Structure formats: structure tokens, C-alpha cells
């Protein structure tokens, strides 16, 4: 029984010593360690980079939406969009066809590159 009591007393003393050492106050105004400050700086830098990438993504998304929007060409048939031709095109004769062939169901014609006038 004395051994059991001595063992409990030893555990109690160790517990009290542990609590006393753990209860020492830490200075609240002390600067954080250098590695903590470096990590805070790195977090701030990464947050700024993430914000920059989000801005670039929004810019690219708006550009893609603008590119996907159909571009409407004004029609010549609409009133106000009349095409005035000062010199009407000269009517030329069709080129002389030198030959007509067919390959794989496709018909093609052989014509000269230039016409003699």
C-alpha cells in the first residue's frame, strides 16, 4: 500500500510541476517569430496573385463572349444602305473551255489562265 501511495504522490507532484511550467505567461507584445512573419507575407502575396488570376479569367471570359456573339453585317437590301456603282462592271465573255472531265463524280473544266484579247 505504501508503494501505491508513493506512486500516486509522484504522479501528483509531476502533474503540479507540469501545470506550473505550462502556466507561464507569454508576452503579448512580443514580435512573432521570423518564420511566422514570412508565412504571413507569403499568404498575402498568394492572395494578391489569386486576385490577379481571377481578374484575368474574368477578362478572358468577357473576350470569349464577345467573340462568340454573332457579327451582323449590314444588308445592302435595307433602305439607306444602297450601293452606288459609278462604273458598272464590264461584261466579259466567258473563258474558252478546253476540256471537261469527271473524277469520282466531280466534274471539272480545263480553262486557260489568261485570255487573248
C-alpha cell at 9: 504522490
pLDDT at 42 over 90: yes
Residue 98 falls inside a structural domain:
no
Residue 47 falls inside a structural domain:
yes
pLDDT of residue 89: 59
Question: What value does the mean pLDDT of the chain take?
Answer: 78
Q: Which of 45, 67, 64 is closest to 56 using CA atoms?
A: 64
pLDDT of residue 57: 93
Run of H or E including 58: helix 34-68
Mean pLDDT for 80-107 is: 71
- Strands of 9-116 (E only): list them: 99-103, 106-110
Domain tally, the chain = 1
Residue-number span of the structural domain to which 44 is assigned = 34-68
* Model confidence pLDDT, tens digit, residues 26-37: 666 777 677 888
pLDDT of residue 45: 95
Cα(98)–Cα(15) distance, rounded to whole angstroms?
Answer: 112
pLDDT of residue 58: 93
Q: Are 51 and 44 in contact (CB under 8 A)?
A: no
* Model confidence pLDDT, tens digit, residues 51-84: 999 999 999 998 888 888 776 655 555 555 555 5
Residue 50 falls inside a structural domain:
yes
Is the dihedral angle over the CA atoms 103, 106, 112, 113 positive or is it negative? negative
pLDDT of residue 87: 58
Q: Are 110 and 98 in contact (CB under 8 A)?
A: yes
pLDDT of residue 90: 64
Q: Which three-class secondary structure state does DSSP give residue 63?
A: helix
Amino acid at each position: 500500500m505504501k508503494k501505491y501511495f508513493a506512486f500516486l504522490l509522484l504522479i501528483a507532484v509531476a502533474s503540479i510541476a507540469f501545470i506550473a511550467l505550462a502556466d507561464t505567461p507569454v508576452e503579448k507584445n512580443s514580435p512573432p517569430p521570423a518564420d511566422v512573419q514570412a508565412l504571413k507575407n507569403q499568404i498575402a502575396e498568394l492572395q494578391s496573385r489569386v486576385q490577379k488570376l481571377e481578374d484575368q479569367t474574368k477578362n478572358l471570359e468577357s473576350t470569349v463572349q464577345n467573340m462568340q456573339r454573332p457579327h451582323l453585317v449590314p444588308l445592302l437590301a435595307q433602305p439607306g444602305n444602297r450601293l452606288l456603282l459609278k462604273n458598272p462592271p464590264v461584261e466579259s465573255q466567258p473563258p474558252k473551255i478546253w476540256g471537261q472531265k469527271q473524277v469520282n463524280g466531280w466534274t471539272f473544266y480545263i480553262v486557260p489562265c489568261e485570255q487573248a484579247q
